[in-house]
Amino acid sequence: MLLLLLAPLAAGDDLEKKLTDGDVHERIAAAQSLVASPRDRNQVARLLIGARLQERDRKVCFELRRHVAALDERALPALLDNLKHDSSFGWAITTALRRIGKPAVQGVTQRLPSRAAIRALRRMGPAAALAEDRLAKLLDGTKHELDVMFTLAHVAPGHPALLPVVRRYIMSKEAWRRARGAECAALMKTSARPLLPRLLELLDDQDWSVRRGVASALNAIRHLDETVFRAITKRIEGSADAVLFQATLDLLASDKKHAIPFAAKLLKQPYDRKRHGLHRGAVQLLARFEGAAVPYLLNALDRSRAARSEARRQLKKLAPLVVPALVEAVRSGQKSAIPFLGVRGAKEAVSVLIDRLVALVLLAPDIRAPKKRSYTPTPDARELQSVIGALRAIGPPAKIALEKLRNDPDQQLRATAKYILESMR
């Protein structure tokens, strides 16, 4: 009888031994058996965490993290006692706490002002808002003020205690403090709008990390009046600040009236290595406006190499959405739009392409004739090849129109239509 009572204890000891001393497969199996066992969850959590802290095998580490992240409220005391090890666990402890919810937030709050508790709250999602008042009290006079500021901005971005502290940081003489203050302002989103005047001043800061933080903050605040737009574009245009441009693309795109002329103006500026990012950014900004920007994107095909490559990429991506604008561009004489009309099933593009085919077929050399090595296609021959390529890409709607051309009185036109149809099979 005594042996029967001691058997589970012996089996438990065997599991603990395999968890630390077995081979890789034994350690993984021991962890799975431990989780499935009826043991106290706190004891299971401590064993898993202890094994992970001394584990070196990546596969076993992954399994241990997975089991810790799946622990429930019964293991809460053990999870809270090991908060300081959370970073070593790939935040598995915080993942478990986040799922547990309100009881976990209350337990973590009781462990403030420890740095581990502050950082854990940052990762616990909406439920962490229960601790906002306690965090606000720690903003002044604690050695972890920066961590508290970021955590409070995560869990309660509109808390009134944040504004004066963030303002103090962005007014600091130390660059790293200004940068952290700007990053925190980005987390506050629209609540940081009173900080706009100072943030606009920091657009000209000498430190790149400050400017990057300010760009993120302006993008998050989502307030674009004439003053803000002028300040951002002046900085971009004057110092070729491509980092600021990329970071504020979404913000600038919210003002279509001023953004399109600004991007078109940037593309007209002479190209140099310093402005490589500006030309690319200007094309990306124009692409946000789809059909309205098609003429400007087509013009960008004649600009710098950076503008050309980005304009081709954006036009290919936008083509299915802007076929009517591309058709209108071809009708107005912008031949560079023809290759982008090759959108599968684009019926509205067929008529304008057939018109160009009929106009070109008598002017261009015979496309079926063998080409000499020294052959250089004329502009009309290149345009004809673009038209044929677009018709092939459109597919069935183009076939119907080409079948009609096979009955045309002009022999060369009939031969060209036959050639295209045969190549589409």
- Tell whether 315 and 353 lie within a shared domain: no
- Tell whether 315 and 339 lie within a shared domain: no
Mean per-residue pLDDT for 277-292? 88
- Tell whether 344 and 376 lie within a shared domain: yes
What distance in Å separates the CA atoms of residue 133 and residue 238, rounded to the nearest whole number?
44
Domain boundary among 292, 321, 350: 321
Mean per-residue pLDDT for 45-68? 85
What does the pLDDT look like over 286-318, one tens digit per residue? 999 988 889 999 998 888 888 889 999 999 999
Per the domain annotation, does 140 fall within a domain?
no
- Tell whether 229 and 315 lie within a shared domain: yes
Domain boundary among 321, 356, 388: 321
Per the domain annotation, does 354 fall within a domain?
yes
Per the domain annotation, does 171 fall within a domain?
no
- Tell whether 341 and 420 lie within a shared domain: yes
Instruction: Report the number of distinct structural domains present in the chain.
Output: 3
Domain boundary among 79, 100, 121: 100
Per the domain annotation, does 5 fall within a domain?
no
pLDDT class for 371, splitting at 50, 70, 90?
A: low
Per the domain annotation, does 361 fall within a domain?
yes
- Tell whether 374 and 424 lie within a shared domain: yes
Q: Which of 146, 139, 99, 140 is nearest to 119 (CA)?
A: 146
- Tell whether 314 and 360 lie within a shared domain: no
Identify the domain containing residue 74 by its residue range.
Answer: 11-100
- Tell whether 272 and 344 lie within a shared domain: no
- Tell whether 313 and 346 lie within a shared domain: no
- Tell whether 361 and 417 lie within a shared domain: yes
- Tell whether 348 and 384 lie within a shared domain: yes
Per the domain annotation, does 268 fall within a domain?
yes
Per the domain annotation, does 112 fall within a domain?
no
Per the domain annotation, does 401 fall within a domain?
yes
- Tell whether 310 and 362 lie within a shared domain: no
What is the rounded average pLDDT for all residues in the chain?
84
pLDDT class for 242, splitting at 50, 70, 90?
A: confident
Residue 400 has pLDDT above 50, yes or no: yes
Residue 9 has pLDDT above 50, yes or no: no
What does the pLDDT look like over 160-183, one tens digit per residue? 999 999 999 999 999 999 999 999
